[in-house]
Amino acid sequence: MNVRVTLLQESELRHQGLLNRRFLLLAAIGAGALVVVLLIGWGLWRWHGHRQDWQTARTTWAKTEPRYVKFQALQADYGRIKALADELQGWRHARLALSTVLAEVQRLVAPRPIQFERLTVTSQIELIVPPSPPPREVTGKPAAKRGAAEGAVTPAPAPPAPGVPARKFRIMIEGRAAGEQSYQEVVGLGNDLRTAPALAGLFDSVRLQGLRQVSDAKERPDERLFSIECVLLPRKIE
């Protein structure tokens, strides 16, 4: 028969082993404190790094700010100068080469018994509105009215096209024609102004505004006074 005799006291039986409860508790507290210290140290290290980055960025900005402000001022000046240059270019595009027109009119009048008394050139600014695009078709919801089809296609109003400023010139020619063919000469001058190759695509309309005999028709029966209006096509300012 085997007999086992335990010589340890009861209190020693409760705490037998390599580690006791007190040691484990102290180790857990120490590990937790170490983790907290590590987290605090890591946070302080990151805060210090961010603070250094912020100070570096602030120093860099202090050096860069004057150049940035100067760049903004130059950019604003460039925008104003460009806007002025574009406007001048638009006016240049809308300018009428009047010398070319007058030289061609002189060439057409030279062989005729016609004398100019006044030639007036005027211009005005008007807004040219291009034709609106066709309405867009969109698939709408079923119409509420009776007889409307499911998913009927309804035209959507197109946005209005922006207007473009343009210069419109008007040339008024006033003078007198002499000779038995004075009427035909004035009418012929108007037709030549419409069909001259050098003036092609220039005039919107050429109209004979007036043609009458002079006041002393008895003394000069073959002399007539006339006025011709030439309206040029609008020249866009763009």
> pLDDT tens digit string along 126-168?
888 777 666 665 555 544 444 444 455 556 566 666 778 888 9
**All residues at 6 or more sequence positions from 217 whose CB lies less than 8 Å from its CB, including other chains:** none
Do 183 and 155 touch, CB atoms closer than 8 A?
no
| Residues 98, 101, 104, 110, CA torsion sign | negative
Instruction: Please tell me the predicted confidence (pLDDT) of residue 216.
Output: 73
Q: Which of 34-38, 114-118, 137-141, 226-230 has the lowest mean pLDDT?
A: 137-141
Q: Residue 110: what residue type? A: A
User: Cβ atoms within 10 A of the Cβ of 181, count?
Assistant: 14
Check pLDDT > 80 for residue 218.
Answer: no
Name which of 136, 128, 125 is nearest 162 in CA terms.
128
Instruction: Please tell me the predicted confidence (pLDDT) of residue 5.
Output: 62
Classify the phi-psi angles of 177: left when phi > 0, otherwise alpha if psi is within -120 to 50, otherwise beta. beta
> How far is it, in rounded angstroms, from Cα 7 to Cα 14?
14
Do 155 and 123 touch, CB atoms closer than 8 A?
no
Q: Is-above-0.85 flag for pTM?
A: no
